Amino acid sequence: MTRYLISDHHFDHDNIIGYCDRPFTSVGEMHDVLLSRFHETVDPDDTLYHLGDVAMAMRDGEKTGEWLGRLSDSAVLVRGNHDAALDPESVDYPVVSSCVLEAGEYRFYCTHRPEDTPEWWNGWVLHGHHHNNHPKEYPFVRTDEKRVNVGVELLDYRPVALPSIVRLLEACEERGRRFVRDRAAADELLRTAT
């Protein structure tokens, strides 16, 4: 069993294609790609930590539950601003405002908005919310701020395994890298790391 992370699918959100310059011609195409890349990557016995904004469901929480159910039977939802209508009592998975994960020597505070991280937290932060709209401030990895942005746009629209994040952070430390723009840059860094 592997733990996977992702954020900001925004299913049923027509405007997200233009807002985040997603490479899709329609919402239907976006749905097909998001679902297929998810299921190509994650096995049924893996656990998904979705860091918010599953769907564009500000008024209809059932949509969030339906879409998350199409992704995984074993999920934890860290509620995002677009998941606000979801009633946690109506679903069979945990719905939390944040959680902490550990892997190797690393501790990760998982939240939708990095701005919601408690001031006392001194470990790494896994988050979404910022998509690919502020690439210098919120790239995939920013080591000087100890942040990892798991928004779909930065991950080539597929979840990332927690052990892969740990390997990437170790490679960044080894190479003195301050930031990693996206999954393609991360793959290149990992190919050249010792």
Asked if residue 68 lies in contact with residue 75, where contact means CB atoms within 8 angstroms, the answer is: yes
pLDDT at residue 58, rounded to an integer: 66
Q: What is the mean pLDDT of residues 167-171?
A: 95
Confidence grade of residue 62 (pLDDT, cut at 50, 70, 90): confident
Instruction: Tell which residue, 100, 33, 103, 89, has the closest CA to residue 61.
Output: 89
Tens of pLDDT, residues 97-140: 999 999 999 999 999 999 999 999 999 999 999 999 999 999 99
Instruction: Tell which residue, 47, 113, 102, has the closest CA to residue 79.
Output: 113
Tens of pLDDT, residues 9-42: 999 999 999 999 999 999 999 999 999 999 999 9
The label of the residue with tokens 């601003």 reads 81
